[in-house]
Amino acid sequence: MSMLTNTLGRYFAGRFVVAALGVFASIFLLLVLVDYIEMVRKTSGLASASAIMVAETSLFRVPQLLEKLTPFCMLIGAMTCYLALSRRLELVVARAAGISAWQFISPALGSALLIGVIATVAYNPMSANLRELSKRMEAELFGSAPGGGIQDASGFWLNQVTSDGQTIINAARSEQQGVRLTGLTLFRFDTEQHFKERVEAREATLEAGHWLFKGVRRFSLDAPPIDQASLEIPTTLTEAQVRNSFSTPETVSFWQLPSYIRSSESSGFATAGYRLQYHKLLAQPFLLAAMVMLAASVSLRFFRMGGVQKMVLSGVGAGFLLYVLSKVTEDLSKAELMHPIAAAWLPVVVGGLTGFLALLYQEDG
């Protein structure tokens, strides 16, 4: 019996992994196609934008977006796996051999936990690095546009005050968590808060004690525009302060989050977002296992008894409600109305207990 259980366990685990990876790959290709079409639309007026570079930029942007959809990939993959096993009567045969539902759910739970660990320690750093690479490629694509790219009221804003006066910096794009900026507009004021000049620059890099701007054009009220190859503006900002201002928790890899939390605390910045992201990544394996429990609770019914559409809709609805709960707790945590640990683990507990109680009622009720 033990040999039979081990063999079936490996079989069910393999079927689940294949189904989950199939869903993951399908959504990945769909997102790449949609993002590529959008990038082609944005770069249609740029002569320097090649189709290959646009495709690479889209390909590098998608992994971070797909990371947010990983729980739904697990949910749909598990539902697909168990519905296919039920349709071919394999679950009926397994039950007839004396194997309970808990025994053929356990391999999928173990696989989901393993996939979650890999997603946290390997996929997350890779997606963060690819996102930074895509930002660099976007800067190259839009760098030849007039004025260094898109310059409007959006983007990233930074205010610094030195002995020379005040400088307000607007950057269209940020790389390396704010250490390198592109598509810049600066508004400079003297110590009496009188407007001095407006500066446009192609890119800027934070160096020790100053910003180094390249591809500069300076505008003042009483002189024609002046073009310069470079311009240095003093600053008291450090790399840690700039990174805390420009980086978002989603763009920081799992292994870098502890140092970001410590640097934010020492600099006096809010750490709720970084702490929430860190605990969400720690809870990710268990969230994927909870999704498997939810999928199993709506997919183990005998296929020929009908009601498949209702089962699928109820599973998708449960996943959507769990997503809404995670967004609500995330917003509460970022507003510092809920502890990051509670915000990260509450959806896991709710989803896991819901699936467990539903299975307990169906199988042993």
CA 170 – CA 177 distance, rounded (Å): 15
Mean pLDDT (whole number) for 264-290: 83
Buried/exposed 89-128: b ≥16 CB within 10 Å, e otherwise: ebbeebbeeebebeebbbbbbebbbebbeebbeebbeebb
- pLDDT at residue number 147: 38
- pLDDT at residue number 253: 85
Kindly report which listed range (4-13, 202-211, 285-294) carries the lowest average pLDDT score: 4-13
Report whether pLDDT(82) > 90. Answer: no
- pLDDT at residue number 129: 87
DSSP bridge pairs for 171: 156, 184
Report whether pLDDT(151) > 70. Answer: no
In this structure, what token pair is assigned to residue 14? 């393999």
Q: Pick the more confident residue, 359 or 270.
A: 359
Long-range own/partner contacts, residues 10-17 (CB < 8 A, 24 or more apart): 10/107, 12/85, 12/104, 12/107, 12/108, 13/107, 13/108, 13/110, 13/111, 15/81, 15/84, 15/85, 16/77, 16/78, 16/81, 16/107, 16/108, 16/111, 16/112, 16/292, 17/111, 17/115
Residue among 99, 226, 210 at smallest CA distance from 164: 210
CA 94 – CA 96 distance, rounded (Å): 5
Measured in whole angstroms, the distance separating CA 81 from the mean position of its chain's CA atoms is: 26
Q: How far is CA 152 from CA 86, 147, 160, 184, 330, in A?
A: 56, 11, 20, 10, 29
The single residue listed with the structure tokens 């599973």 is: 315
- pLDDT at residue number 144: 44
- pLDDT at residue number 28: 92
Question: Reduced to 3 states, what is the DSSP secondary structure of residue 88?
Answer: coil
Mean pLDDT (whole number) for 134-156: 58
Angle at 304 between CA 303 and CA 305, to 5 degrees: 90
Report whether pLDDT(321) > 60. Answer: yes
What share of the chain has pLDDT > 90, as a percent? 20
Highest mean predicted confidence (pLDDT) among 43-52, 79-88, 237-246 = 79-88
Report whether pLDDT(356) > 60. Answer: yes
Mean pLDDT (whole number) for 222-232: 87
Give me the sign of the Cα torsion angle 78, 310, 322, 251: positive
Report whether pLDDT(308) > 60. Answer: yes
- pLDDT at residue number 246: 65
Mean pLDDT (whole number) for 244-271: 74
Residue among 9, 192, 233, 209 at smallest CA distance from 109: 9
Long-range own/partner contacts, residues 64-68 (CB < 8 A, 24 or more apart): 64/127, 64/128, 64/130, 64/131, 64/250, 64/251, 65/31, 65/35, 66/24, 66/27, 66/28, 66/31, 66/127, 67/119, 67/123, 67/124, 67/127
Mean pLDDT (whole number) for 192-204: 88
- pLDDT at residue number 183: 83
Kindly report which listed range (125-129, 263-267, 279-283, 331-335) carries the lowest average pLDDT score: 263-267
Kindly report which listed range (147-151, 256-260, 338-342, 344-348) carries the lowest average pLDDT score: 147-151
- pLDDT at residue number 301: 67
Q: Pick the more confident residue, 149 or 88.
A: 88
**DSSP single-letter state for residue 121:** I
Count of alpha carbons within 13 angstroms of residue 262, beta-carbon side:
4
Q: Pick the more confident residue, 31 or 92.
A: 31
Interacting residues of 361 by C-beta distance below 8 A, sequence separation 6+: none
In this structure, what token pair is assigned to residue 334? 């970022």
CA 226 – CA 244 distance, rounded (Å): 33
Residue among 230, 207, 206 at smallest CA distance from 218: 230
- pLDDT at residue number 257: 85
Report whether pLDDT(197) > 80. Answer: yes
Helices then strands, each counted (H, E), the chain: 11, 6
- pLDDT at residue number 243: 67
- pLDDT at residue number 24: 93
Confidence band (pLDDT; 50, 70, 90) for 30? very high
